[in-house]
Structure 1
């Protein structure tokens, strides 16, 4: 195993194109884009989002109530009564704020149990039913918002020192993109499946430093499952930079090129046909699903599983709670990712203006959600005919791409996800007409969350990791 890994590493280093050369000129954003007035304007949507967010509203009511109850302990009984009222309102839910779009998809496992793939789907379903019977959701994280945010604050960082080998390829548009190989401590095992991970809206930090679900999965599968992991790095994130063609969610060619390289490299040095699986998270889930709709003839992966994604981006535009709350924070971070790209590429502002982007508008409070970013930046910068044209290109549901999926593709989502609405997966319809499309919908879990147990920090993102493992084991062979 070690010998094969050494040869594979030498091959990766030889074939890697290396990071794009850094421009040595001084780089800075135009002052009008980073002035104090502009920064304050950018923060205003966050204040409005906090007021509309159910989690923050209820927490504020409970904190006021607790304070009044404590004050009542010093001989002020009226304070105690009012405090208990505020506590009750906070627990029950403070009225007002943005409404949550009704979820029509019921919890359960959706898959065709008859026809050509009926036996396989039944086997996968039984495997998940057995595994889920042992799963105990965290009893005190009962809202999707808590399930979304607390794992980042509580979960142990198990991967800060995880070694990896970064490889670079040159895409068809001239940009270079990166992907990181992570090998098990015991060495590369050609008999074991290889897992490709697709990130969500990734930060500028490397995944080992960010220590989120990607890092946790890389640690889990290399240390507990003796599998090799390959992390596809989204353009312009995780210590990478681009020249002109930034990341966007409809591009599936980077994944294709990386899989072609990975497949040929593994076959060359292992001597057997490799078994590759893929897992995507949030935006990575959208890309993985869309990829399977594009490359149905020879997908180069044996199966895919994705979490908290969607198949119909246009439908998610109806989810105003997401747009008016959580998307405001995601949009704020995306703006600064765009700003970093502008600092790294001297001609970026000029290039964006030539393509029709109004950067003053982007870096203002008028662009307040991910939908706004997609409408005013992504679709314009990449030459789409509006945001719906962009969403058509990135959605598996559009142009009947979902009918093309030729491998088992399992979508996992929670009904209380505050960012991507699980109805946007169209589980019942798609599973009935394409027997390769499977869905696991849970009542609770949030967005890429699913905390488990009374002390969820001890388990990290094990629900997601184990779901991937159950899927691979029940699909492989």
Structure 2
């Protein structure tokens, strides 16, 4: 069409086309992408706490204009924040666990000696599926917590963080043994401090299951918990991850490969429990569900992935939360569909859950800004910074909420609960 037009008319046509395209894109972005987050909570104390102390929740979240799609946010969020080669000055402690295993806890901020006579806020940070203290978003969250005048302790699950695996056992979201030993260690290190727990993705699922399983211990330890981009129902999350094409063949496949690499890295130790696994099957699977069926489920006493995922569900037991739990999820998270978020549970009478929901953000993405490249702090970090500051300065506003009616199975560290693990 433009070939028949004079040069000046051709240039005008192209300019009008470009401006029109930009206008359409901008209109779509403003009306369908950029939104204020929604808060779902029945508990007035939790609502007031967020309203009073987290001003960013009152503003529109403007996702990065070129990467607002959920899966793109998820992928870029792991790579654009901070380089893997950039190291943080962690202080590492290797914990020898009761069953002979070991893991690393990496601290950032003041040491226990520095705060011996001055109570501080200590934040236990539980990373995602195969993440460690050196993963990009974990480092930026740790930096954010320290900027908020708190101490962060990053739990590196067994076999992660460069720590050799000593026993043929890894980790899963239904087993609380390692978390409880780390908590006991932190309380001995910082006896006068108050504690906050933050879990991301699988780490948030582990944290949620801990609060459900050990309500008294959680209530006596933590002021509150924040869980980010968690899968509230493993069955639903798995179904979403297996939807073709992008979810199954890119997101699911990548996560499965990461898990297989972890198993390969520690195969020599794991093979001492060969009656538990068929490694040919473990290394030939294509989905997380298959990996969990052949690797995770059997080592923790589950007969199948269905049994494991049922035990990992959080939504049916949200009413057992014994402390205030704040959740941050994006509707376009490929691992947790927005239509299946526990909104009904959050707005039920007596609920200790306050759910923050954004329209966009993906899974641990929440990128913002026109040029997000190597920008360490985005929307997720901003909210975490405000939340940590609020807990540090105004924890007393939540103390009255650390009660739940009709708690079942209450236990404490002094009353150890028997957990069936490692039964093949």
With the shorter chain as reference, the TM-score category is 0.7 to 0.9
The structure-2 alpha-carbon separation of the partners of 1:284 and 1:472, relative to structure 1 and needing over 3 Å to count, comes to same
TM-score by length of 1: 0.68
2:71 match = 145
Instruction: Give 1:412 deviation, angstroms.
Output: 0.6
- Output one character per residue of 1:141-191: Cα deviation in whole Å (capped at 9) or x when no partner: 221122111233332349823222222223333212221111259x94544
The structure-2 alpha-carbon separation of the partners of 1:425 and 1:177, relative to structure 1 and needing over 3 Å to count, comes to farther
In 2, Cα distance between the equivalents of 1:253 and 1:281? 18
The structure-2 alpha-carbon separation of the partners of 1:381 and 1:330, relative to structure 1 and needing over 3 Å to count, comes to same
Instruction: Give 1:290 deviation, angstroms.
Output: 1.0
Query: Are 1:249 and 2:173 an aligned pair?
Result: yes
- Output one character per residue of 1:406-445: Cα deviation in whole Å (capped at 9) or x when no partner: 1111111111112333444422224414421110111100
In 2, Cα distance between the equivalents of 1:316 and 1:463? 23
2:314 match = 396
Query: Are 1:198 and 2:126 an aligned pair?
Result: yes
The structure-2 alpha-carbon separation of the partners of 1:154 and 1:469, relative to structure 1 and needing over 3 Å to count, comes to closer
The structure-2 alpha-carbon separation of the partners of 1:424 and 1:252, relative to structure 1 and needing over 3 Å to count, comes to farther
Contact 1:427/1:438, CA 8 A, preserved across alignment: no
1:286 match = 205
SS in 2 for 1:207: coil
Equivalences for residues 293-372 of structure 1 within 5 A:
293-299=212-218, 300-319=221-240, 320-321=242-243, 322-343=247-268, 345=269, 348-352=270-274, 354-355=275-276, 357-364=277-284, 367-372=285-290
The structure-2 alpha-carbon separation of the partners of 1:428 and 1:126, relative to structure 1 and needing over 3 Å to count, comes to farther
TM-score by length of 2: 0.76
In 2, Cα distance between the equivalents of 1:181 and 1:305? 19
In 2, Cα distance between the equivalents of 1:424 and 1:236? 32
In 2, Cα distance between the equivalents of 1:217 and 1:107? 20
Instruction: Give 1:199 deviation, angstroms.
Output: 0.8
1:455 match = 371
- Output one character per residue of 1:311-361: Cα deviation in whole Å (capped at 9) or x when no partner: 211222331323454111110121111011103x2xx33513x12x22112
Contact 1:280/1:305, CA 8 A, preserved across alignment: yes
1:59 match = none
Q: Count how many residue pairs are aligned between Structure 1 and Structure 2.
A: 353
Instruction: Give 1:220 deviation, angstroms.
Output: 2.4
Query: Are 1:385 and 2:303 an aligned pair?
Result: yes
1:374 to 292, 295, 299: 292
Instruction: Give 1:192 deviation, angstroms.
Output: 3.2
In 2, Cα distance between the equivalents of 1:173 and 1:381? 14
Contact 2:133/2:154, CA 8 A, preserved across alignment: no
RMSD: 2.8
In 2, Cα distance between the equivalents of 1:375 and 1:472? 37
In 2, Cα distance between the equivalents of 1:389 and 1:461? 39
2:183 to 234, 244, 259: 259
- Is there any run of 5+ residues in structure 2 with no aligned partner, and where? 1-16, 26-35, 397-424
1:112 to 38, 42, 67: 42
- Output one character per residue of 1:278-306: Cα deviation in whole Å (capped at 9) or x when no partner: 11111111111111111211211111111
Contact 2:103/2:156, CA 8 A, preserved across alignment: yes
Contact 1:147/1:446, CA 8 A, preserved across alignment: yes
Query: Are 1:466 and 2:367 an aligned pair?
Result: no
Contact 2:68/2:360, CA 8 A, preserved across alignment: yes
